[in-house]
Amino acid sequence: MFKKIALISSLFYVTHVFADPIVVDGAVPNEMTKQAILAKLRAVYGNDQVVDKIQIRPVSAPNGWSDSVTRVITPDLKKVTQGKLSVRGTQVDLIGKMGVQTEIQPTTLLFQSLVQPPYRFNSQITVNAAEQSVIDNALKNRIIEFESGKAVLTVTGTQILDEMVAALNKVQGKNVKIIGHTDSQGDPAKNQSLSLQRAEAVKQYLIAKSIAATRLTTEGLGSVKPVADNTTEEGRKKNRRIEFDVL
């Protein structure tokens, strides 16, 4: 999560390294502005993760500065690691890394929609390539298999996960999101639930292999992000997959 936030008049920083607390630093013109920013941060990250070092000083800021700052403090900031969000006057900048290349554009577009004129937005988000490549190379485009319609790993599935344990140990200090996917057959709601259950099954297997539970999160996307044609059996097999995103 974001590690540090600095506010100096019309200057606002947010930087983060996963698993570190948020440190809010800098100067704001009044108590109302300070509390508005702290409230938004605590709503996103939790009270225990926010360290308040904000000072109140007679500084100036553009009209609507407080609203513009709080608008960009959203849970989507958690997707960006080793990052910094800054607001300098009417210029908003977001830099950092993401685990998956395909997530960069939608995240950038989201923040662009949050930044309203006369504020301007610039993004420099790159893929967290080194650690992600270790995980991708271990998976080798193989499918972690489950029993049909269930969240029960097959023998082949556990064998692949045993190899993934070694890869996860190579990226110590990095957290990993386990994402479950299904094909498009059946009820979409049930597919989403099954994809999450399968991601959880993988998580529990890895925990049993001494991967720290605090490093692992899960998400189930059902059939919304296919990588192959769902009209063929081969395509559906490719879509029933588990992905690992380094955070």
Residues 36, 59: Cα–Cα separation, whole Å? 17
Tell me what pLDDT residue 96 has.
81
Measure the CA angle with vertex 86, ends 172 and 3; round to 5°: 30
Helical residues (DSSP H) of the chain, grouped into ranges: 31-45, 65-71, 104-114, 129-139, 155-170, 188-208, 233-239
Over the chain (247 residues), what is each successive 10-residue block's mean pLDDT?
45 47 75 89 85 81 83 86 74 80 87 91 82 88 94 97 94 89 95 97 97 96 91 92 91
Tokens of 15: 């930087």
Give residue-wise pLDDT tens across range 86-96: 777 788 888 88
Rounded to two decimals, the pTM is: 0.54
Helix (H) or strand (E) run with residue 87 in it: strand 81-88
CA-based nearest residue to 188, from 219, 220, 218: 220
Tell me what pLDDT residue 50 has.
82
CA-based nearest residue to 90, from 118, 61, 109, 122: 118
Give residue-wise pLDDT tens across range 228-241: 899 999 999 999 99
CA-based nearest residue to 122, from 87, 83, 71: 87
Tell me what pLDDT residue 99 has.
66
Tell me what pLDDT residue 158 has.
97
Give yes or no for a contact between 4 and 15, defined as CB atoms under 8 angstroms apart: yes
Give residue-wise pLDDT tens across range 12-50: 554 444 345 677 777 788 899 889 988 998 998 888 888
All structural domains of the chain, each given as residue ranges with its CATH number in brackets, are 2-127 (3.40.1520.20), 130-246 (3.30.1330.60)
Q: In terms of DSSP bridges, do strands 2-8 and 81-88 run parallel, antiparallel, or are they unpaired?
A: unpaired
